[in-house]
Structure 1
Amino acid sequence: MYHLNDLKLAIRIAELQSVSAAGRELGMTPAAASAALQRLEKKIDCLIFARSTRKMKLTEEGHLFIESGRKALQLLDSASNALADNRGELKGDLRIALPSDLGRNIIRQCLDEFASTAPELKITLYFGDQMTDLISQNIHLALRYGHLEDSSLIRRQLTLMPRVAVASPRYIELHGLPAHPEELAQHKVLILSRGSEPWHKWRFSHKAQQFEVNVTGNKNCNDGAVIKDWALAGEGIAYKSWFDVAKEVHQGSLVLLFADYIADSIPLQLVYLQSDYPSYKIRTVIDFIKEKIQTFESNYPPLF
């Protein structure tokens, strides 16, 4: 019989289409990962992948084996999760993807506190403002803004979050205070790039009427934390989630703009892959984060 770790490796190779990437994720050298795959194929007397110089492609038999193996691992995970539930255990791996700014400045501290109460739990954090593929990146839990169309994900809404325009007192002193979102065309604007596309349509609302303003920025970045740093330094006007800037607005280091034009809020939610038995550690950390979010909202309520 083959080892379960070899099966896990083969499944990740199929998902990542790379022996070295799958091996690296599991703490193996490319040579060791390749040897493990060959050992598995020999054990089951089946060529799982058709190799080429550029990618790994599942054979017909390999596809059947990987799909069956994935279901078998899910059943084993469900059994382990059931035991952990019964025992109230927080142990094993927990990989979480977080948006850059909110993740670094609020959620990371929450998870540090959570980890201090669960010494047998290994938490790995991934920061970034790109949409994370939970399967290919082997993520257990992701924090996401907005309405999601992916039906393969289970959602746990934490709160509804407005987006706001902000600038530093220094910027306003130098460049003036815009009275209406349409005046953004005359100002320096800081734009977040999501994927390869700059987010240049900022949404506002007035008297229940939604409208968008197309902005062109003097500075772009794909990292939301950098956008806020630029805003704090007086480099321009930023369009951010309220949570990202609530503390700075309350403290006076950033000024809320267009308070009469705040658009409808969007969901802030934790998502995870569909499962017949969501693990105890996932449910526990979701409840913990939700409680911390509610506390933050109480400490820094919207000023509009």
Structure 2
Amino acid sequence: MAADELGDIRLFVEAAGLGSLSAAGRKLGFSAAAASARLTKLEASLQTKLFDRTTRSLRLTNEGHVYMQHCRVALEALENAKAELLAGQGQVRGRLRISATTDFGRHRLNQWLEEFCSSHPQLQLALTLTDSLSNLLEDDVDIAVRFGKPSDGDLVARLLAPNWRVLCAAPDYLESFGVPRTPEELHKHRFVILVNNAGPLNDYHFMANGQRWTQRIPMERSWETNDGALARIWAMSGHGITRKTIWDAAEDIRAGRLKVVLPEYTVEESGLYAIFHRNRYQVPRVRELLDFLVERFRKASHELLDGLPGAPASGTSRP
């Protein structure tokens, strides 16, 4: 394959990803006219129309979708080969594509990634933060950090840390509305509810005396958001009780900005995992990041979680 043709393919893949040929051209250093001419040349060589183009939109044709999947695999294989050779020279470089939940990604994982990249200055990050459920097989990510283990057999999950969820609220809110002593008393309270593309996450799970049950929290007096970080901020502002993973709430609990309620009813949960594709070649930068995260979570599990209220009595598994 000629270098010029490889450049055309990179332009095509970038245009598909950005949804704009001119934006792809700017990213790769081409003028709008040059980018258009290169795409036209690529389509002519393939005798196939790759995009339906108008002045306002750029949409892949069916043939374009097929070609893009193969092009991404080919470009990734070339990048992986280069990374493998450079790793043999002691260099870890390239782009790391990571996905995480919004609250955890913003206030904890981001700090650790910056720490990791300070040791590997030739790395570039692409961090996607979302609380929505997603198909990781289709998402273009190297690692997803998620609470809970996936059921998809095409994904591999490596345990990073224990986890449990707590009900928590601001001290001022609890002073005004009272501290619930049992789950049945929750109907008197206001809540901050996280909502994702599957709907509101208002089914709260409890356990006592070996019995587990689910209680649905009414939405009528609840504030709701699709952003986990905002849910925590609203709870600290006194808008109601919210349910957070211990990793998201730990610092605020230790600082007294949030208080845990009903800790004796906490349910043991699956841990926090690094999730990646089973069949995707794991390039050196991904292996390095996994090893770094395992060690970073090991230390943080003790520094942040030890002694916090709500830890299940039976204990949670540790990596």
TM class, shorter-chain normalised? Answer: 0.7 to 0.9
1:220 equivalent in structure 2 = 224
1:3 equivalent in structure 2 = 5
Q: Is the 8 A contact 1:189 1:219 kept in 2?
A: yes
Q: Is the 8 A contact 2:99 2:145 kept in 1?
A: yes
1:232 equivalent in structure 2 = 236
- Matched ranges for 1:1-304 at <5 A: 1=2, 2-11=4-13, 18-20=19-21, 23=24, 33-42=35-44, 44-49=45-50, 51=52, 55-59=59-63, 65-66=67-68, 68-134=70-136, 138-195=140-197, 197-217=199-219, 218-300=222-304, 301=306, 302-304=308-310
Q: Distance between the aligned counterparts of 1:24 and 1:272, measured in 2? A: 31
Per-residue deviation, 1:205: 1.6
Q: Distance between the aligned counterparts of 2:26 and 2:113, measured in 1? A: 22
Per-residue deviation, 1:272: 2.6
Q: Is the 8 A contact 1:48 1:58 kept in 2?
A: no
Q: Distance between the aligned counterparts of 1:52 and 1:115, measured in 2? A: 39
Q: Distance between the aligned counterparts of 1:29 and 1:210, measured in 2? A: 62
Per-residue deviation, 1:138: 3.1
Q: Distance between the aligned counterparts of 1:200 and 1:18, measured in 2? A: 36
- 1:193-244 per-position Cα deviation (integer Å, ceiling 9, x unaligned): 1126111111222223221111124200111111111111111101000111
Q: Is the 8 A contact 1:165 1:257 kept in 2?
A: yes
Query: 4+ residue stretches of structure 1 with deviation over 6 A?
Result: 28-31
> % of aligned pairs identical?
29
TM-score (norm 2): 0.82
Q: Distance between the aligned counterparts of 1:138 and 1:215, measured in 2? A: 35
Q: Residue 284 of structure 2 aligns to which amino acid in structure 1?
A: Y
TM-score (norm 1): 0.86
Q: Distance between the aligned counterparts of 1:203 and 1:118, measured in 2? A: 42
Q: How many residues align?
A: 300
List gaps (5 residues or longer) in structure 2.
Answer: 311-319
Q: Is the 8 A contact 1:158 1:268 kept in 2?
A: yes
Q: Distance between the aligned counterparts of 1:157 and 1:26, measured in 2? A: 37
Matched residue of 1:78: which SS? helix
Per-residue deviation, 1:158: 0.8
List gaps (5 residues or longer) in structure 1.
Answer: none
Q: Is the 8 A contact 1:115 1:121 kept in 2?
A: yes
2:314 equivalent in structure 1 = none
Is the alpha carbon distance of 1:97 and 1:26 closer, same or farther for their aligned partners in structure 2, counting shifts above 3 Å? farther
Q: Distance between the aligned counterparts of 2:198 and 2:157, measured in 1? A: 26
Per-residue deviation, 1:40: 1.4
Per-residue deviation, 1:245: 0.7
Q: Distance between the aligned counterparts of 1:98 and 1:86, measured in 2? A: 30
Per-residue deviation, 1:137: 5.3
Matched residue of 1:265: which SS? coil
Q: Is the 8 A contact 1:17 1:56 kept in 2?
A: no
Q: Residue 52 of structure 2 aligns to which amino acid in structure 1?
A: R
Q: Is the 8 A contact 2:83 2:92 kept in 1?
A: no
Q: Is the 8 A contact 2:18 2:24 kept in 1?
A: no
Q: Is the 8 A contact 1:180 1:258 kept in 2?
A: yes
